[in-house]
């Protein structure tokens, strides 16, 4: 069973075998959870946007965009796989999907760990400097 997934022909075939109903359901639940997380994040941002500082708001918008686009493209791939459209349901599109969104998630984590703290520090330093200026 597992050896089938390790064979490179399985992943590169442009006329792929159909997904089992169990795998289809797991993938469907995964993408539905991504949509649910995006909706929850959107509701949170709409209610508390004024209380969140600008760097954190930008992080939330980056995460929201990531969740939205990854779920939309994943649902399209799942639809093509379910309908059995030969080229568009190829497994290598799922590999490409995973690589693109892994790089995107990495960029978001770099922003959250490296750039956002610097931006917050710059805002704090500017506010500390501005309080001594004559208005």
Look up residue 90 and give its DSSP letter.
Answer: -
> Which carries the bigger pLDDT value, residue 127 or residue 112?
112
The half-sphere exposure of 81 on its side-chain side, counting CA atoms within 13 A, is: 23
> Which carries the bigger pLDDT value, residue 58 or residue 8?
58
State how far the Cα of 7 lies from the Cα of 9, in Å rounded to an integer: 5
State how far the Cα of 20 lies from the Cα of 81, in Å rounded to an integer: 10
Residue 2's pLDDT band (cuts 50, 70, 90): low
With beta carbons less than 8 A apart as the criterion, state whether 71 and 42 touch.
Answer: no
Q: What is the pLDDT of residues 75-104, one digit of tens each?
A: 998 888 888 887 777 778 888 889 999 999
What average pLDDT is seen over the chain? 86
Helix-helix angle 21-48:54-83, to 10 degrees: 160
Q: What is the pLDDT of residues 47-58, one digit of tens each?
A: 887 888 888 889
pTM here is: 0.78
């Amino acid at each position: 069973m597992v050896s089938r997934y390790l064979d490179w022909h399985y992943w590169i075939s442009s006329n792929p075998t159909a997904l089992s109903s169990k795998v289809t359901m797991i993938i469907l639940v995964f993408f539905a959870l991504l949509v649910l997380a995006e909706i929850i994040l959107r509701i949170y941002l709409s209610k508390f946007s004024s209380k969140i500082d600008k760097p954190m708001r930008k992080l939330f918008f980056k995460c929201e965009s990531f969740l939205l686009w990854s779920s939309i493209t994943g649902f399209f791939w799942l639809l093509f796989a379910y309908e059995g459209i030969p080229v568009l349901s190829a497994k290598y599109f799922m590999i490409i999907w995973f690589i693109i969104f892994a790089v995107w998630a990495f960029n978001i984590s770099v922003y959250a760990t490296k750039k956002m703290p610097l931006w917050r520090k710059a805002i704090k330093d500017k506010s500390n400097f501005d309080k001594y200026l004559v208005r």
